[in-house]
Chains A and B, each alone.
Chain A
């Protein structure tokens, strides 16, 4: 398997606080990695840097050949639209856009919109009959499934999921995790932040962070 993500001595400081302190690891294409650790350990910061939402203070984060820290604003925008699919704990759907429009928004910023494809993506996450609903008319689980459909619509190289089930009840958690398993089995590369050990066990490997450093690396599940 080829290396999709290379992280070398990655460091991120927020003022006097060091969120990441010399983190180094690789991710192979097609791997499902669970990033675990207590609150404030730097998990979300790591995901944000890999997704081009934040820039490292030093070190390198290379995703599919792109050194994220060296990209300018427009390069980062292109990187995010072409290579990354985000799934957030808070769903982050645009409240005045319907489910299908939220999915098409990602298409719009990537290239051109294709309503049929967006409808199919929503069908895949089991929302065929909810495409014209606004986020406020959907349950939390349904909203997260819309976010999954949105994350997949541009066929990203890397799916970054930050506590994707953190706001869901057990039933909806099961649905979302089933979707992630399917994505993994189809060969998608997934980096998932989670607190829950039971969810972390679904991944190929666990990377545990503590105080911005790797506490345990390459723990094969």
Chain B
């Protein structure tokens, strides 16, 4: 009979309850979407920040540290500004984890092209584009790390020397020269647009720095904390070298993450409050309408706990149904927000379903506080028609 009464209560007041249900569904949809974003925002932000490029740099440490350092220390390098390729890169390779998106050593020199000074970066060209995912490349990508015949030129360089992919560029440095085929033109929107990117060995040979590198850049995915942790472990394995996360990037990521989470949490609380208010208003009206029913139920011997229990069950069903429908709508909303904000889909988190439904039931129950008034209904007064 309880279920039958409950069903009749829901059907009998469907006009008013629909208003409350719509409020609960709307609240649940937005909360579910926000919680999906909240759970996924760290991963999305990490992905976004990886677009900013490298976030860990290995460079030569200070000389004092180097003197105490073991055999793979920078002391083996020719200059304090240089590091031994053989001492650093195998260790970086050994410490590589699945979180390391890319890593590459660098040697920078200022060479000449057509008697014009130009910054030349020697690196692993196959890794360079992974380190700088925002680069727009016109032409062919260089897939082979050992390819010493091709190079990338920045957009401004291409414009300055009027060269294009497939063209030739000759670089001179202290009497040494290298003639390279331009594989592609890089549009980075920054300093890289004025640089030439060549194979590491080519740059080393031009500079007479065979086996020497200036620094290593790594792009590591994860949170600011996990990146810091990885940098620490890498530093321990490379004593005497300066291994540090690029602070601005990791801090910005951390700040943005905490601000985004605060914003989401604030919105969830606000929406819960608004939903509760809407349910409250509906229930207040419903409580007035139900005074006659409650008076009669009391006259028939209904205890207040049994009568209010019936109404609370009704509100619970309202919260659960609204929460469930809202969750499904929330997944769709989260997908839309994910595409609009992050340009990618949001992975639905199923644990959000019970959480949102529980929140909606709790909010609906809070909104049902006016039903407490029914406890004061005097059956004799109601049955007199007052």
Binding site for B on A (CB under 8 A): 44, 48, 51, 53-54, 73-74, 77-82, 84, 86, 88, 90, 92, 94-97, 101, 104-110, 113, 150, 154
In the complex, how many angstroms separate the beta carbon of B226 from the nearest chain A beta carbon?
59
Provide 8 A-B residue pairs closer than 8 Å at the C-beta atoms, listed in order of the A residue: A53-B299, A77-B301, A81-B301, A92-B292, A105-B297, A106-B300, A108-B2, A109-B301
In whole angstroms, what is the CA distance A44 to B5 when docked? Answer: 30
Contacts of A107 in B (CB 8 A): 1
Contact call A44/B296, Cβ cutoff below 8 A: no
Q: Among B8, B9, B292, B299, find the residue whose CB has the most chain A CB atoms closer than 10 A.
A: B299
- Given A77-B303, A80-B301, output 5 extra A-B contacts at Cβ < 8 Å: A44-B384, A53-B299, A54-B380, A81-B301, A97-B8
Count, A-B residue pairs, CB within 8 A: 76
In whole angstroms, what is the CA distance A73 to B304 when docked? Answer: 9
The answer to whether the Cβ of B11 comes within 8 Å of any Cβ in the partner chain is: yes
A98 (CB) vs chain B CBs: closest residue: B8
Interface size on B, residues (CB 8 A): 27
Contact call B1/A95, Cβ cutoff below 8 A: no
Contact call A95/B12, Cβ cutoff below 8 A: yes
Interface string of B283-305 (1 = CB under 8 A from A): 00000000011001111111110
Contact call A86/B8, Cβ cutoff below 8 A: no
In whole angstroms, what is the CA distance A77 to B299 when docked? Answer: 8
Contact call B383/A110, Cβ cutoff below 8 A: no
Contact call A92/B297, Cβ cutoff below 8 A: no
* Given A92-B296, A94-B293, A109 and B306 contact (CB-CB distance below 8 Å): yes
In the complex, how many angstroms separate the beta carbon of A89 from the nearest chain B beta carbon?
9
A106 (CB) vs chain B CBs: closest residue: B300
In the complex, how many angstroms separate the beta carbon of B306 from the nearest chain A beta carbon?
7
* Given A86-B299, A92-B296, A53 and B8 contact (CB-CB distance below 8 Å): no
Contacts of A73 in B (CB 8 A): 303-304
In whole angstroms, what is the CA distance A104 to B300 when docked? Answer: 11
The answer to whether the Cβ of B94 comes within 8 Å of any Cβ in the partner chain is: no
The answer to whether the Cβ of B379 comes within 8 Å of any Cβ in the partner chain is: yes
Contacts of B303 in A (CB 8 A): 73-74, 77-78, 109
